Chain A
């Protein structure tokens, strides 16, 4: 079945939203007013009321120029993010006409109405219904239905209002601007004398392909846009899906001031949340708890867990540690728990905490408990990193993060069991300039070197460090008592990067 796409263009979305926000429907349209946004060259007009347009204000003009034309014009700041928010809500609302809808920012919507028009009594009735309902919301619209999103957009912006086209109908009379091209490309086409879509179809295809061979973005290449218009190339649109985060709350008869009661409320909230999540086969990764006090102050606490969970006792226990410093003041009268980040979690066996007593906890639960008590960064896992400098060859990541596959370190490299966080300077007696170390002093003790192996020369990473960084000559040494260390000489004497090289102790062997 042929696709049918409804394009909704709200040409005066920004100004109409501002007028609706002021409370008066259309009376404000009669007074000259512009919405402005700040740019690097000063305030610039983004939208204007009808009276403002009549006074000469146009979107894109500098405010100073508008003031010269109409000195009494009023000014209000534009709110593009608010407009986008309204558009998102409209997109969800527009799913009344079709199964899915997509945004066409900054001021358009696209709804797929394939096979849905008969529910409204045909496509004309559907268009009339859409126009009536949008007008009831105080929005002026231009609508069109076409087999492709590109054609519907073109008709809504440049065709007759309420137009419908069938597959095979010609769109040649429309201007080339209906192709959704960049202004620079439109300028090029205008200079070439190609003003209508029909002019472009008259040009040989390979000539156009040669002219725009380096433009790969659809908005820069008229060929791609024409193919999208005719449906020869698929144009995927990102549908808007409403995702509501689960939310539970408890209004309390009496404000509570005691910790025991708060813990009980928290348990109830977590149990409610667990029930909601279980019904939707979800688990929470981040939970936000908000406590409203009698005096209007809100205490917020946030909890993140390492793996999706809907275990009420586990979550309540984790939250309880975060409530130690809550000052109840005159009492808490409303508690609300919201799962801000949810992930799919298949249904599984319940009774997690009781079985933990008998069979032990899982690794994720253990890590959650530890990170709540010890802090986020305290529990980590070493992973290999592609570097030959010893302290950069290992990195620390969160314990349950998936690790990238890396080449293991080479087996013939003897590496110490432990690495000091910062290599400690040592005083070394050695055969100058680059002989084996004989004796060194570390933390006040003198170590006689009985055996040594080296040097293993490790050069600095020249592609990320300065050219003055010195190389390192590593030695594995064992002292008279059998203690084994990893020490290095930082630089060579006479390498032109400093004076006599220093020695450092970096690691301890087992």
Chain B
């Protein structure tokens, strides 16, 4: 029996493929406070500052705040979250400190101290497969052999399959091949002076460069926590401050 040819109108209902490249309609610039569906991101940072993990947490919180609330659920999401560190990252930048974590996340942290990058990757993947976790933060120092493109692709697929966001902080690492949907380069910048004591350090601020993203053009932002706790960007860096006299 000869199969009947498919009429051309059968393709009419299919959604358009997402446009590749910057000129497409999807390729809007990244903005804080919007949910772009990114489930796997990487933040590159130096180990001499705590900015990488802080920016990753800020991006996670930003996305959670931007998510449309589920109309059925009447209690806020109080699931635990996982923070995986390998031994080198733990030695370089220390352990999470509960009183310094964002208040919404303090009581929900589950911390994994892995000895090797392989164990850290195992823990990250197990965390992504767990439905009782809100998100997973990983911290890996350097460019370990285990964290190659295949491993990051595995993580990316697990994150998408189970819908658990993963943000991987790469300390002192070269941006090698990776399947992450967003890749940021983070660096601390002088903070805005706080309202009551101009000589004191203010709320954390970062120079964040989005150098590789699936659905955004690359760009560079100066991000900080606004007064309402949300992520905001300012256009110009602060003028250079005088040394203490």
Contacts and interface: CB of A to CB of B under 8 A. Distances in A.
B94 A366 contact: no
Q: Which of A415, A483, A510 has the most CB of B within 10 A?
A: A510
A448 B241 CA distance: 12
A436 B245 CA distance: 10
Interface string A440-456: 00110100111111000
A381 B112 CA distance: 9
Given A382-B96, A394-B98, A451-B190, 18 more contacts: A365-B130, A366-B126, A378-B119, A383-B98, A417-B53, A419-B97, A448-B243, A452-B199, A452-B200, A452-B244, A453-B200, A482-B188, A482-B205, A484-B204, A507-B94, A508-B50, A508-B94, A510-B204
B122 interface: yes
A241 interface: no
Interface string B8-22: 000000000000000
A418 interface: yes
Interface string A362-390: 11011101100110011111111000001
16 contacts: A361-B126, A370-B122, A374-B114, A378-B113, A379-B111, A394-B98, A418-B50, A418-B53, A419-B100, A451-B190, A451-B201, A453-B197, A476-B200, A482-B190, A483-B48, A510-B51
Interface string B35-58: 000000000000011110111011
Contacts of A394: 97-99
Interface residues of B, number: 56
B88 to A, nearest CB: 13
Interface in B67-107: 80, 90-91, 93-101, 107
A419 B50 CA distance: 10
Interface string B175-205: 0000000000001111101000101110011
Contact of A415 (B94, B100, B191, B193): B100
Contacts of A374: 112, 114-115, 119, 122-123
Contacts of B193: 451
Interface residues of A, number: 60
A330 interface: no
A438 interface: yes
Contacts of B162: 360
A396 interface: yes
A205 B58 CA distance: 75
A99 interface: no
A507 B97 contact: yes
Interface of B: 48-51, 53-55, 57-58, 80, 90-91, 93-101, 107, 109-115, 119, 122-123, 126-127, 129-133, 162, 164, 187-191, 193, 197, 199-201, 204-205, 241, 243-244
B131 A418 contact: no
Contacts of A442: 48
A347 interface: no
A378 B98 contact: no
B98 A373 contact: no
B241 A451 contact: yes
B112 A370 contact: yes
A64 interface: no
Nearest to B163: A360
A109 B19 CA distance: 85
Nearest to A420: B94
A425 to B, nearest CB: 15
B187 A481 contact: yes
B131 A361 contact: yes
A478 B198 CA distance: 12
Contact of B96 (A361, A393, A418, A509): A418
B49 A508 contact: yes
A413 B103 CA distance: 13
A415 B102 CA distance: 11
Contacts of B51: 483, 510
Contact of A382 (B111, B197, B200, B201): B111
A384 B98 contact: yes
B199 A381 contact: no
Contacts of B191: 478, 482, 484
Contacts of B107: 403
B100 A507 contact: yes
Which of the listed residues A365, A384, A399, A482 has the most CB atoms from chain B within 10 Å of its own CB?
Answer: A482
B97 A379 contact: no
B129 A453 contact: no
Chain B CB count within 10 A is highest, among A356, A477, A484, for A484
B130 A508 contact: no
A366 B129 contact: yes
Contact of A438 (B53, B54, B188, B244): B244
A373 B99 contact: no
A359 interface: yes
A421 interface: yes
Interface string A334-356: 00000000000000000000001
B94 A419 contact: yes
A498 interface: no
Given A417-B54, A482-B191, A373 B122 contact: yes
B98 to A, nearest CB: 4
Contacts of A493: none
B244 A436 contact: yes
Nearest to A413: B99
A416 interface: yes
A509 B203 CA distance: 10
A438 B243 CA distance: 8
A417 B110 contact: no
A361 B95 contact: no
Contacts of B200: 451-453, 476
B190 A478 contact: yes
Given A396-B111, A450-B244, A360 B129 contact: yes
Contacts of B53: 417-418, 510
A321 B115 CA distance: 18
Contacts of A379: 110-112
Contacts of A480: 190
A399 B123 CA distance: 14
A409 B244 CA distance: 30
Contacts of B58: 510
